Amino acid sequence: MRAGIIAANNIRYSPYIFFYTDILKQIDIQYELIIPDRNGLDETFDSTLYTLPWNQAKPTILNYVKYSNGVRKILHKNQYDVLIVLTSINAAFLGTWLKKHYSKRYIVDIRDYTHENIYPYYLLEKEAVEYSLLNVISSQKFTTFLPKTEYHVCHNYDEKRMNEELSFQRKEGIISIGYVGGLSYVDQCSKLMRLISQDSRFSLDFYGTSKEETALKETAKEIQCERIKFYGAYLPDEKEGILKKVDILFNAYGHGIPLLDCALSNKLYDALIYRKPILTCNNTYMTEMAGPLAFPIELSDKNALNDLYNWYQSIDAITINEYAAKMIESIEKENRTTKQYIADSILSLKTGNKHGL
């Protein structure tokens, strides 16, 4: 039995390739991978790798059309027993073809809000998830905008990361707010920088990089506050040290659209694992899931940092630690259940049983 995995970006930017390869290895299923080379990277893989071209000079939609055509040719030639389709965009572009040629033999994995507000896209996505073997999502709230069908939750949480018992430690002196990850949300960050510049009790540290880094640095240069610093890109094995050093994590990206209201950022799991308070926004699933670790901040409020400081000083360590431990246990249990369902569903194709269908 052989599986085909279809990604929507280079391996470096598609970590959930390995979530599925781990499952496939455990149940002794061979696999091959198809990716678009969106970033001009020379990448390796532990099995057969098909790398299809991507022209950054052309519109994204045209690239997806060309990519999906190339994927179909590979799928038709190789006749896989099961497919794993990463991202709803791949599912939408391939859905009609998958319905005809791989009905009930492919898994759709959705980890973000994309173009569900565009009705033709929604219909294509609907067809894809209705004729799949099963559908995986990273946030239960995605069911509010996705087509109605059955979904199984698998959080963006790596159980291998947790190797020690941690507890909340309140910082004495200047409190460090850390943006850790790919830099984005320039408007929200700019508002926070201006607040920080007026409050010596806090500092703001940016760990990571992106095309938005230049704009953020320009704002910082304009403000000229020595408590705002940029540390640039970091290696994966450096992240743990950074998270331990930061006092409060930044995840106040805004609200009012499904992308922000429903998603669960990786920073949620960072906060839970390292017992770190986290800045969020009102009316978001992040705030709900982070519970007592979350401070929903209004960055347009000039008194926001006063409120944050008072909240931070009043944090009860026992409450934080107990909540984080309970949530991690629940998340790990939900992930294990979904992993087992994925494995059983794939094996059902091998045996001919219609598990879970």
Q: Residues 60-88: what's their mean pLDDT? A: 97
Q: Can you tell me the distance from the alpha carbon of 35 to that of 38, in angstroms, rounded to the nearest whole number?
A: 9
pLDDT (0 to 100) of residue 159: 76
pLDDT at residue 106 above 50? yes
Per-residue pLDDT of 3-32, as tens digits, reads 999 999 999 889 999 999 999 999 999 999
Share of the chain above pLDDT 90, in %: 94
Q: Do the domains 161-322 and 2-154 match in fold?
A: yes
The string of DSSP letters for 274-290 reads HT--EEE-TT-HHHHHH
pLDDT (0 to 100) of residue 163: 60
The amino acid present at 76, given as its one-letter code, is H
Name which residue leads in pLDDT, 164 or 344. 344
pLDDT at residue 68 above 80? yes
CATH tag, 2-154: 3.40.50.2000
Q: Model confidence at 158, in pLDDT bands (50, 70, 90)?
A: confident
- CATH architecture of the domain formed by 161-322: 3-Layer(aba) Sandwich (3.40)
Q: Residues 153-177: what's their mean pLDDT? A: 87
Domain locations in the chain? Answer: 2-154, 161-322
The string of DSSP letters for 174-221 reads SEEEEEESS---HHHHHHHHHHHHT-TTEEEEEE---TTHHHHHHHHH
pLDDT at residue 165 above 90? no
pLDDT (0 to 100) of residue 356: 38
Per-residue pLDDT of 271-310, as tens digits, reads 999 999 999 999 999 999 999 999 999 999 999 999 999 9
pLDDT (0 to 100) of residue 355: 43
Per-residue pLDDT of 184-217, as tens digits, reads 999 999 999 999 999 999 999 999 999 999 999 9
